[in-house]
Amino acid sequence: MDRSDIPSLDDLRAFEATARLGSVRLAADSLALTHGAVSRRITKLANDIGVGLFERNGRGLRLTPAGETLNLTLGRFFGELAATVQSLRATNTGKTALVLSCEPSVAVRWLIPRLSGFQVAHPSIALHLSVGGGLVDFRKHHVDLAIRRLDFAMPETWNVRTLFPEKVGPVMRPEWVSRFERGDYLALGSKTRPDAWAQWLKSHRSAPKPTEIRYYDSHSLIVEAASAGLGVALSPLVLAVDDVERGSLAAPAGFDPDGSQYGLIWLGSSELQGVEHELAEWLQVQFSRQSVTSPL
C-alpha cells in the first residue's frame, strides 16, 4: 500500500478516541476539539476507507465489524508509538526507561497510589505504565515486565516470579455489615469471574446467603459500587485493601486464598538484573504489606 493512501493521523485519532470512550462528546473533550470537528473527521475517515465504522445503538454508538478491526490495529499502533516516545524522552533526560504492564483493576486501585513511593526511591528510573490482561506481546509493545493473574497458559520462554496469592472476600460499607450478617444483602460479582460467589458460598457454608447477585464488567466496578453503598462486592484483597484499612469499606468475613496467584512475567534471562530487579524487589515488598487477612 502506498503510504500516501494512509488516512490522516488526526482522523485516526478522532476515531480511536471515540471508539475508546464510546462517545463523540467525550472524544471531543479529550482531544480539545468541538463535537462537530470530531464527527467530521470520523466521516472523512469512513469515506476515505470506504466502509462504515460506527452504527447507532439506541442513543449511543457501537463499532461495526470494520470499525472493530481498525480499532484493534490502532490500539496496537498507538500503544507502540506511546512506548517508543516515552523511551526516547527518558533517554533525553538521562533516565533509564522501564515499561511495566499491569492488569487494569490492579493498576488503578493498587499500583498507581503507590508509584510515587517508587519514584522517590528510584529517581533515575523513568517508569512507564501500560494496562492489559492475559498474554503480553513484550517485543511489539516494548514491555519489560508484566503483572498478571496466573490463570492462563504461558509460553515456555516466559519467566515467572510469584508476587502474592490471590485472596478474596466480601467487602461493603460499614453500615451494610448488619444486612450482610442477617442475609439481607445484594451481592455484586464481576463478569470476569462469574462463579466466584458460588465458590465462596460453597466454602463458607455458614455464611449468610444474598438475596440476589448482580454482575458488573470488572472487579474495579464492583468495589466502587460497594463503596457507593450499592451492595456487597466479592473482591480480591489487592483491590480493596486500601479502602478496608481506611475504614471506608468493611470486610467482616476476612479474605481467603482462592487458589490462584499473581506473578511478575518477563522475557530473557531467568534472573532479573538492574532496574528490572529493583522494580521487582519493590513490588514484592509492597505486596507483602497486604495484611488484611482475618475477619475485622
Average pLDDT, the chain: 88
State the average pLDDT over residues 150-171: 92
34 with 171, same domain?
A: no
10 with 47, same domain?
A: yes
193 with 210, same domain?
A: yes
Contact status, residue 53 vs residue 45, Cβ threshold 8 Å: yes
Task: Specify the pLDDT at position 149.
Answer: 93
Is 178 a member of any domain? yes
How many Cα atoms within 13 Å fall on the side-chain side of residue 88? 6
Is 85 a member of any domain? no
Domain edge (last residue) among 17, 39, 73? 73
195 with 220, same domain?
A: yes
Instruction: Report CA-CA distances (Å) from 230 to 139, 173, 175, 186.
Output: 42, 9, 11, 8
- Which residues, 6+ apart, have CB-to-CB distance to 32 below 8 Å? none
Task: Specify the pLDDT at position 91.
Answer: 59
Task: Specify the pLDDT at position 138.
Answer: 86
267 with 157, same domain?
A: yes
170 with 253, same domain?
A: yes
246 with 172, same domain?
A: yes
| pLDDT tens-place string over residues 255-272 | 999 999 999 999 888 889
The Cα–Cα gap between 196 and 260 comes to: 12
Supply 107's cell numbers: 493498576
| pLDDT tens-place string over residues 97-145 | 899 999 988 998 999 999 999 989 988 888 999 888 888 888 878 899 9
Domain edge (last residue) among 43, 73, 103? 73
135 with 271, same domain?
A: yes
182 with 247, same domain?
A: yes
**Which ranges of 93-174 would DSSP assign to H, the alpha helix?**
104-106, 115-121
Residue 136, domain extent: 95-163+261-288
Task: Specify the pLDDT at position 293.
Answer: 44
Domain count for the chain:
3
φ, ψ for residue 217, nearest 5 deg: -70, -25
Is 87 a member of any domain? no
Q: What is the CATH number of the domain that holds 46?
A: 1.10.10.10
| pLDDT tens-place string over residues 58-84 | 777 888 989 989 988 887 787 777 666
Summary count for the chain: helices (H), strands (E): 11, 10
The Cα–Cα gap between 6 and 230 comes to: 47
Q: What is the CATH number of the domain that holds 110?
A: 3.40.190.10
Strand, helix or coil for residue 126: strand
pLDDT at residue 296 is higher than 50: no
Supply 7's cell numbers: 488516512
Task: Specify the pLDDT at position 94.
Answer: 57
Strand, helix or coil for residue 98: strand
End-to-end Cα spacing for the chain: 63
Is 89 a member of any domain? no
